[in-house]
């Protein structure tokens, strides 16, 4: 299975870090650039604020409001 690299702002997956860094504009990022999620690829992802689990990285990032997070968004635990 090929490793995937995720943008922690929008949850999009890329086949290489280079693709992520050089990718098109990230609509969810304040800097408009995709930002690398540096954690390992997992079968489940947990929000570091509320502990909720998600079956995919994208579900976590694009999920509903996080009541425990200062930014109101779920953020992945590394
Ligand atoms: Zn992005
Ligand atoms: Zn959360």
Write the DSSP assignment of the chain as a string of letters: ----EEBTTT--EESSHHHHHTSSPPTT-TTSS--B--SPP-SSEEBTTT--EESSHHHHHHSSPPTT-TTSS--B--
pTM for the full predicted model: 0.83
Q: Cα separation of 64 and 35, whole Å?
A: 20
* Predicted confidence (pLDDT) at residue 1 exceeds the cutoff of 80: no
3 Cα to the center of ligand 2, angstroms: 25
Count CB-CB contacts under 10 A for residue 65. 9
Which of the ligands is closest to the CA of residue 58? 1
Residue 37 has pLDDT above 70, yes or no: yes
Q: What is the distance in A from the centroid of ligand 2 to the CA of 71?
A: 10
Give the mean pLDDT of 49-77: 94
What integer pLDDT is reported at residue 78 of this predicted model? 83
Q: Which ligand is nearest to the CA of 46?
A: 2
Distance 36 CA to ligand 1 centre (A): 8
Average pLDDT of the segment spanning 9-15: 94
């Amino acid at each position: 299975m090929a490793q995937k690299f995720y943008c922690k702002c929008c949850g999009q997956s890329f086949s290489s870090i280079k693709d992520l860094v050089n990718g098109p504009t990230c609509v969810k990022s304040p800097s408009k650039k995709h930002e690398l999620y540096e954690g390992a690829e997992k079968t489940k992802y947990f929000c570091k604020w509320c502990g909720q689990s998600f079956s995919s990285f994208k579900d976590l990032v694009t999920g509903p409001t996080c009541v425990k997070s200062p930014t109101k968004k779920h953020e992945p635990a590394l």
